[in-house]
Each structure stands twice: as structure tokens, then as C-alpha cells.
Amino acid sequence: MRTTFTRLLASNGLAAALCCLNLPAQAGNESVAPANGLPPHALPEVHPALGAPAVTITGKVTDEKGESLPGATVLLKGTTNGTTTDMSGNFSIAVPTAKGVLIVSFVGYQTIEVPISNNLDIKVVLKADAKSLDEVVVVGYGTQKKRDLTGTVVSLESKEIVNSKAPNAQEALQGRLSGVDVKRSSGKPGADLTIEIRGANSIGGNTQPLYVLDGIPVSNINDINPADIERIDVLKDASSTAIYGSRGANGVVIVTTKKGSAGGARITYDGYAGFVEAYNLPPMMNGAEFAAYAREYSRTRAIDQGQNPDVVATDDKIFSATELRNIQNNNFTNWIDLIKQRGLQTSHLLSLNGGDGKTNTFLSLGYQDYQGAEKVADLKKYTMKIGVDKTLSDKFKFGASTYTAFVDNKPGGFEAFRSAHRLRPTGSAYNEDGSERFIAFETEAQITNPLFDFRNEVRRTQYVRLLPNVYGEWNILKGLKFRSTFTTDITYQRGGSYLDTYTKSRAGTQPSNASYNTYHVFNYDQENFLSYAKDFGPHSLSILAGTTANYYQNDASSTTVSGLPYNSLWYNLGTSTAVTIGGTTTPPSTVATSNYAKQTTMSYLARANYSFRGRYLVTLTGRYDGNSILAEGKKWDFFPSAGFAWVASDEDFFKQYEFLNLLKARVSYGESGNAAISSNNPLGLNPYATQVTVTPSYYDFNGVTANGFSPSGLGNKNLTWEKTREYNAGLEISLFKGRISLDADYYNKTSRGSILVQQIPAGNGFNSVLSNVGRVRNEGVELNLNTVNVTNSKFTWKTNINFAHNHNAILDLYGDGKDDVGNSWFIGQNVRSYYDYKVIGVWQTDEAVKAAEYGQKPGQWKLQDTNGDGKISSDDRVVLGNNSPKWFGGISNTVNFANFDLNVTVYTRQGVTEYNQFLSAHEFGDEGRARYNSFNRSYWTPTNLTNEWANAAIEQDGNRRRASGYTDASYTKISNITLGYNVPKAMSGRFGVGSLRVYATAYNPFIFTDYVGWDPETASLNTYGLQSFRTRTFLFGVNVSL
């Protein structure tokens, strides 16, 4: 069947493509010759030299514990005929005879030669290399053995990334790496994620890490297909990140994608399909419950306001005619069910990998289609990677690769979701004839039927992203190498929105509105490095020195018009005209904006690593950065670091403890930076922040208008980078031949020069200026524990536990020791603190006299009188908490039994306070009109004296309503359950495939939380927990290797 499959490939032209890539292809017994006329390589069916039927050797490669080694290389000695093991450690290779020798190798293990000797099924056990007891990790501009590191680096391998089935690379990190806090902004497909490493280093600036893709800094890794990733390494301490200077203060995430390797052409496919659904929904009232609640609410409100409830709280006053009819007929609407769906999700990735050792190639094609749990939301992503690495000689090597992504995102509108949980269940989505009705009930025209938003509100973003990379290497002398790399990160984006008159935002009374925007980014990096490595007896020395240059440019434009005569989305903006609605004519309007920004960064850097007997390790790093957007005299700064490690277990006095495999202590100090006034800074700071800015203006000279410019902003020519100084101490322990390993770290880092708006005397015409004045400290501990609980030839069980605690505090703001109450910034408190009134319960009936002293009454929220002055005022506000976790971590268990594999990962975020508008908004409005669809809870009444919830019918001021919204948003979730089965080769071979694995995954299936609302993970300062549903995904997939 494999021959038939290959013939099919050839007949479809794929063989020719393989030849161009110097990969083997064959149809039947006839080889397809490469276009360059060179002799063809062979597929396993026919030996290339003899043309005789080949013998297929199968086997499995494991370590001494019986654990599979995916990616191990198996090579027929004396030839270029080779292969690599699959995810289960299995391999299959065709040889001319049942004799010969196989060379089996894997990074970190001793290479061995295995005689075939007519053995067609070979079991290979590799032993750990005594000189390479630890994995190789990627660091800034190179690689190192983890054993030789003086800094703190955590890693995630390809198998863990792929098996997580996370929709993007960032989410795959969640709960798997200590100190790396990953948070979703929404449950919608394509929603942004935030990653913070060891807390927020800036008070108001950027706190996201630097992303490095295949050695080159990029803006983000959102568009990289997780299945294309070989590994992810995260640099956390300043000793590791200082090599990136002004860009590394928030940590560095290094992503290495897959590349071609020696061996015959290997085709792999990874695909899955499934669905996503909303869950963990807050308990909402049904129509009958809400009708009873509305009646009780209205009567209580009337009594509270001194009115006769029998007059003002009758059904015809409470409900519209539509609602009365629905109540009578028991015909209610579940608005949440109306907008949610089971969205289909699919992913496919096909890759080709191979080469002869001198020319290695890699090609992958990916497609992802993610529908959301909310109707309309849909994300499609197409990806392609092409890579070639060519070794010309022992001296020269070069390579080129291109990663391309096309993304088409339809996120849906925000208003449909808001309307769905604001509308009363007593309203109607449809008229009696089955047509959709725009207004759910007559007395509320501002909250409209969300079905109209689904159809009439269109939002769409499309973009193409190109990431080409070219490099060359020259081995000048033994140990001395020069490498030059050039890469670009280019994005072409367009998008827009169309809001019909009949949408929530236009309310049926305003003309339609459409916008069109474009966004272009051109970012390139040029890097040149010299590296030298040499061993001098017990001494080992490696040196890296080089330069980098970065150029960044973006331009954006946006046009918004109103009054389009028909629904043409944003393609006919020039057709806008005056529109008459309800007798009112609105003239057309057009608003156009555009902007442009650029900056250049130049760097000189060096790093030296020294080791004595592999026991005493020293790393020294320095980087000198210059940035064009800074003022003269402030453009350049130096970022040094130093690290020392002692492998104590190599000392003679420790060797008597055979159970101790590794005991290593690390200490480091370093400085890194944050280019806080870059053109894409979240604060809106731009390259002109160091200069006085002007705006068009005019002056009337006795009826004669003179146009000109007037100052609009005061520049600060002393603005410079925020700088972070960090101390780190770590301990690494490995016991019982690696059965137990622990990494523990303590860090203390202080960021100085946070850019804040500082108030100044207004005598110069301005009352504020941007200044480097703030200081923030992050101090914490991190633990990473790995255990091999059970291991034998048929059953293994491994566990990873990671934990992180971080304490964040503002040390100074403006240099005067004062707090900034308006921004909720307080010295000694977290940069993301909530400052407000504190609810301590509900005033009870027996507290009526005391409540009256505060102008309150039973049934209302009771606020804390902090200063005890007998009144509630702004002086009673306190810090209620913050939305940074006190601690977070994860537990991952992996079990292999026979051909089955199981992984269960748990993630937790504890000690988080969020402002939950779902709760506080329940307090707004009369008779449920402007409130969210009421959820079932125990609220205070004269017959239900509870402290759980105030009676919303008793009028409350805005302070009390808002204060009721602060809540604990801690949660623990099972983020992944994956069960896989590796089909025996005897069975998969019938289908013509080398290996076959089927699996089922439940992604984010369960959450445990006291949070009342939609999703504690997506609740934030910006969305207030009203963004989207909490979702879970169920997938079924297959991995195939040919």
C-alpha cells in the first residue's frame, strides 16, 4: 500500500517537488530522478544501490527507565539511509539485507551501534551520556547544557506542546512552567493572551516578555502553529535575559520551530476535529422566577419610596403587553441559549522532513478553523513553513526559511453578548408570525434582540504575516565560528466593521455606520556574531561577541463613515448619504485618521562562559544598546550580568552519596531594560514623548484668520529606559538516578525609572510631563518538581508540579513619598490594586437605628467606616486586593501503559481579586430594566435576613452598587485530559503507515471556583468579566507518520 501511496504522490506532482527539495520519492520500482540529474534517493521499498527488495527493520528506542525517546536518529552505518523515531519511540527502516549495523543516537545519550543479525524487530536502550546528564536548552543566541547554566531557564518540549492541543503557543505554557503566568482575555477564538514572567515590572508600561523565534526577536508568536514548534525555552532571571539588554526586563520566550534532518522523506500528519461549548454558566432566573422577582421588587421599591404598591406596582405597570402575554402563556425566552452554540473546531498539519545530511529540508502546511461558543465568532488560520539547511563543506553552511500565516478573524460583536444577559426572560425574540422582533418588549427600546446584532453587526480582520529568515555560517578555525542572520517580520492587515441601523449600538434610530482600517508593520533584524569555544584540560571556555541592528516601522489608517444606503460592509464608504429615520434626517459623516512611526535599535553584546572541570561555572554578559527614539545623551545604556554556579555533587566528599545525582547551587545578578517609550507602548507613549508636540491652531486678528500651530504637549529630553536589577539564587537537585528532581529559585528584582505622568507647576502652560520616576519591586520563589513515580517496561507514571509566589509592591511614585489615589497606585501596594469602599454585610432589621446614623436602612449594603468618624466618605476607602495572583502553579501527570498514554494537567490561580460588573450591575435600574438578567441568589427581604446580597429594590447610591462587585476570582481548572492509543505496527502497516496514534482530548473541561459570573480567567480591569463565555473543548484526532 505504501508503494501505491507513493505512486499517487508522484502522479499528483508532489514527487517533482520532493526532487527539487532533494528529498527521495519513488513510484513502484521506478525512482523519480531529481531535476538536477543526480542519482535518485530511494524509498524503503527498493534499496538504492542494488535495486533489490529491501528488508524492513522495526524497533523501539527507550532510555534506561523504559521511557520512549521520540526523535532519536537511526542510521544504517556506511550510508545516508536513516530515519527518526516517532512520538512513541518506534522506528522503521529499510535495509538491503538483514545484516549490517544500525547507529542509534539521541541528544544527551551515548550513541551506540546495534548489529542487525537477522533480527527484524530490535529493542534499543540508550544510556545517559555521563558528559551530558541534562538536556540542552536554548539561551540567548545559542544553546547550553542545562547542567552548565548559571541562570534560570524553563523549557517545554514539542511532545508536551502538541499534546496540549492548545489553540496557540502561549496557551500551551499555562500551568506547565513555574513563574510563567498565562491568562486569556476572552473565550473567543483568536483572543489575546497575556504572559507575565515574575510579576509586573512596570507601573504603567509594557509587562509582556520578549518573543524570540528561531533566534530572532519578533513582535509575538500568536500566528505560529503549535505543531510546528520543536521547543519553547523561557529565560527568567537577569543573568539569562541581560543578553537581550533593553528588551529583556520582562523575561524572554524563545521559540524554536522544527527543521529538516537527515534521513529519507518522512511525511507526518496531525489532525483533529471536535467542538467547543459554553459551560460553568451562572444560574439565571427563568421567566416564571423573574416575573415573581419583578413583582416583589416593584412592591418593595414602592414601599421604600412611600408609595402605594397596590397602585404603582401592578402587573400592567411592571410588565409590557408582550410580557404579560408571555407570562399568561408561560412562553419565555432564554436569551443565553439564543446566542450560544456548539462551535466546530478543526486543525490539520501536514509536514515533510528529510535530507541527506548535507541538504536537509522541512515543509509544513497547516489549517485551523475555530468557531466560538457564541454564534458568528469564527477564526480561520492558514500556515506554511519552508526551510532548507545546506552544508557546503566543513567550513560553510547556510540556510533559509519562511513562515507564513494568513488569518481571517470574525470575532462577532460585543453588544450581542451584553444584550443577552441584560434582557428579561419575559420578553420575546420573535413575533407571533415567527419573524424576529427588534425590540424584545415595548417598554425597553435600548436593549435590543441580539439576533439582529449577529446578522447586522459585522466585524472582521484579515492579515498576512511573513517571517523570512536567512543565515550563513563560516567555521573559520577549529572552535571559531562566524554567523550572520537577516530576518524580517512583515504584517499586512486590513479590517473593519459594519453596524446596520438595526443593531444595538444604532438602536434603530441612527444611520448605519462602517469603518475600514489598515495596518502595516515592517520589522527587520540583522545580526552578526563571532563565537569561540575551546577546552584547555580541565578548563572550558566559550565566548560570543557580536552586533545586532533592528529597524521597526508601522503605519495605520482608518476611515469611518455613516449613512450607507445599503449593506455593503466597508467596501463602498464613498456612497454615504443623508439618511432619514423616523422623520429625522442625519447628514453623512466621514472621519479619517492615519499615523506613522519608526524606530531603530543598535546593540553590541558579548558573553563569556567558563567552566572548571564542569564543577565551577561562571557566566559574564554585557550588552550596550542604543535607541533612536531617545533624546541626545540618553540613547545608549549598558546592561551587564554575572552568574556563578557550583556543581557540588561532583565534589569528592559528595560522591559517597550514591542516591545524589546532582546538587547544584546558582547565584546571579543582572540588569535588563524595558523600552517603555516605544511606538507600540500600551500607555500610548510614542517616539515624540521626548519632544514638545504641536497641534494645528489659528488666531483671529480683527477678522483675519491666521493658521499655525500651538504646543499641545511638553516633552522630556531626559526620558530613558526603565531598568531592572535582579538578584537570583537557585538550587537544583536530582536524586535516585533522576527519579526525583527539584529546581528552586528565589529572586528579588527592582525596576527603576517607570515612566509616569508627573504633575508640575502650571506656570509654563502645562500641568504634567512624562518622567522616569517610579520604582517597583517583585520578590518571589519558584519551585519545579519532577518525579518518576513508577517505571518499568510496560508502565510509567511521571508527575510535574510547579509553583510560583510573587509579591509585587510600588516602592516610589513621584519622588515625594505620596500615593496616587486617582490611579489606585499606593506605595507598598501592588501596581494593580483596587481601591474602593469595603462591603461588610447587609444592614439588618435590628440595626435600623445604627443604619439611620449613616443615612441607611435595613436591606442596604453596609460599608466599612474605616476611620470611625460616623459617616461614609471617600476617606473610608481601602485597598481591597489586586488582580495579580498571590500564587499560581500546575500539576501534570503522564501515564504510559502498553500502547496507551494519558496526560492530565491542572492549573490554579489563587489570591486574585477582580471587579465583577456582572455582580455590581445587578444593582442598577428600576424593576430590572437596566439590570442584567437576574441570577438566582439569596437576597435580603424582611423575611429572609441574609448577609449574602442586598435588596436591589431599596435604593442605593453608586458607591454601594460598585462596591458590591469586588469578588474573589481564584480558580482551579483541569486544563487538559488527553488519552491516546498507539496502534501496533502490525495493524498500522496494513494501512501503509509507519506509525498511527489516535487520541481524544478534553481541553479546559472543568473549573472549580467561587466566582459568580462568566469566567474568572477572563475577568480583568478592562472587560469586567463581561467579554464572553467560559468554554471547554472536546477533540478527537490522529497522528500519522509515513
pLDDT by residue (tens digit) across 232-243? 999 999 889 989
pLDDT by residue (tens digit) across 308-332? 999 999 999 989 899 999 999 999 9
| Averaged pLDDT, 210-221 | 89
pLDDT of amino acid 906:
97
| Averaged pLDDT, 723-734 | 94
pLDDT by residue (tens digit) across 150-173? 999 999 998 888 888 888 888 999
pLDDT of amino acid 681:
41
Query: In the predicted model, is pLDDT for residue 659 greater than 80?
Result: yes
Residue with cell 513582535: 219
Residue with cell 427588534: 438
| Averaged pLDDT, 400-413 | 92
Highest mean predicted confidence (pLDDT) among 90-104, 199-213, 453-467, 677-691: 453-467
Residue 834: which pLDDT band, with cuts at 50, 70 and 90?
A: very high
Residue 37: which pLDDT band, with cuts at 50, 70 and 90?
A: very low
User: Count of alpha carbons within 13 Å of 579, Cβ hemisphere only?
Assistant: 20
> Quick one: the chain helix, strand, coil %, rounded to 5?
15, 50, 35
- State the Rg of the chain over Cα: 32
- Structural domains of the chain ordered from first start: 55-125 (2.60.40.1120), 136-270 (2.170.130.10), 271-286+332-498 (no CATH), 287-331 (no CATH), 511-673 (no CATH)
Query: In the predicted model, is pLDDT for residue 583 greater than 90?
Result: no
The lowest-confidence range among 243-252, 788-797, 834-843, 1018-1027 is 1018-1027
Percent of the chain's residues with pLDDT above 70: 89
Percent of the chain's residues with pLDDT above 90: 45
CA distances from 462 to 369, 405, 699 (A): 14, 11, 44
Alpha helices, H only, 620-722: none
pLDDT by residue (tens digit) across 679-723? 434 344 455 666 666 677 777 777 787 888 777 677 777 777 788
Cut 0.75: pTM above it: yes
pLDDT of amino acid 267:
92
Contacts of 362 (CB under 8 A, 6+ apart): 258, 259, 260, 351, 352, 353, 385, 386, 387, 388, 401
* Positive or negative: CA dihedral 384, 389, 390, 396: positive
Query: In the predicted model, is pLDDT for residue 506 greater than 90?
Result: no
Query: In the predicted model, is pLDDT for residue 611 greater than 90?
Result: yes
pLDDT of amino acid 687:
57
Which residue, 70, 397, 385, is CA-closest to 213? 385
| Averaged pLDDT, 557-584 | 80
pLDDT of amino acid 7:
34
3-state secondary structure 583-598: CEEECCEEEEEEEEEE
DSSP strands (E only) in 323-377: 343-355, 359-371
Query: In the predicted model, is pLDDT for residue 95 greater than 90?
Result: no
pLDDT by residue (tens digit) across 913-968? 998 877 765 554 444 444 545 677 788 888 889 998 888 787 777 777 788 889 99
Which residue, 150, 169, 93, 1001, is CA-closest to 619? 150
766-771 contacts at long range (C-beta below 8 A, 24 or more positions apart): 766/711, 766/713, 766/714, 768/714, 769/714, 769/715, 769/716, 770/677, 770/685, 770/689, 770/716, 770/719, 771/716, 771/718, 771/719, 771/814
Residue type, 255: V
Which residue, 121, 41, 27, is CA-closest to 80? 41
pLDDT of amino acid 108:
67
pLDDT of amino acid 47:
40
Query: In the predicted model, is pLDDT for residue 553 greater than 70?
Result: yes
pLDDT by residue (tens digit) across 862-897? 999 999 999 999 999 999 999 999 999 999 999 999
Strands 768-791, 439-441: parallel, antiparallel or unpaired by DSSP?
unpaired
Query: In the predicted model, is pLDDT for residue 31 greater than 70?
Result: no
Which residue, 224, 443, 223, is CA-closest to 323? 443
pLDDT of amino acid 921:
58
Chain mean pLDDT for the chain = 84
pLDDT of amino acid 275:
97
Query: In the predicted model, is pLDDT for residue 354 greater than 80?
Result: yes
**Taking a C-beta distance cutoff of 8 angstroms, is the pair 573, 503 a contact?**
no
Q: What are phi and psi of 772, to 5 degrees?
A: -85, 95
DSSP state of 318: H
pLDDT by residue (tens digit) across 270-311? 999 999 999 988 888 889 988 888 888 888 889 888 899 999
pLDDT by residue (tens digit) across 751-804? 988 777 777 766 666 767 777 788 999 999 999 999 999 988 788 999 999 999
